[in-house]
Each structure stands twice: as C-alpha cells, then as structure tokens.
Amino acid sequence: MKMNSAQIERTLHQLQAEAIPAEHPVMPQLERLFGEHTYFLDGNGLNIVEPVEAEQSDGQRGVVVNIASWADASTASLEPHPPEATELVIDLEIDLRH
C-alpha cells in the first residue's frame, strides 16, 4: 500500500525502520519488482505494510510484510523472497485529538 506522510510517520513510531523516500533512485526498480508501495528498511530487510481486512480490525491497521532479507550481516544487499507477514500490526489511524 502507498502511504501518505501521516501514515508513514505513524508507522515509523511503531516500527524501528527507515522509510525509503518516493524520490529515491531505487524506487523505480522496487516498484517494478514489488508494485507501488511505501517501502521500509529495518534490521530484517525490506518491508511493506499491507492493510488488515476490515472485519479483523475496528480501525485502519496494516500488517508489516517482509519482502527481502539482508544477504549477510553487512546489510549491503538484499535478497528478495516470497512475502512473509510478520506479527507486527501497525495502527494507521490518525488521532485528531492531538
């Protein structure tokens, strides 16, 4: 899923990761390989967030899905693999009371 800036900010508060900016030179390649998403790099590799089905959630939530793992401990290159849903669910709903 492609996120807006508020959703990215909320995700980064719940996931220790770095968002890859939309204007980053690697984005066209990522979108060719994996589709249009907001991408996050963390200690496990490359991740996206996919929406959780509405009946499973009372608000807007998304599950973190790992789509590529680091090739080795140097974290210099990634190895793509079939998407693996993690146990981490992100609350994407904006709290307008703040």
Count of beta carbons in the 10 Å neighbourhood of residue 69: 14
- pTM attached to this predicted model: 0.88
Cβ contacts of 67 within 8 Å, gap of 6 or more = 34, 45, 46, 47, 48, 80, 81, 83, 84
The predicted structure's pLDDT at residue 4 = 93
The predicted structure's pLDDT at residue 52 = 87
The predicted structure's pLDDT at residue 59 = 64
The predicted structure's pLDDT at residue 96 = 55
pLDDT in tens for each of the 98 residues of the chain?
999 999 999 999 999 999 999 999 999 999 999 999 999 999 999 999 999 876 555 568 999 999 999 999 888 899 999 999 999 999 988 665 54
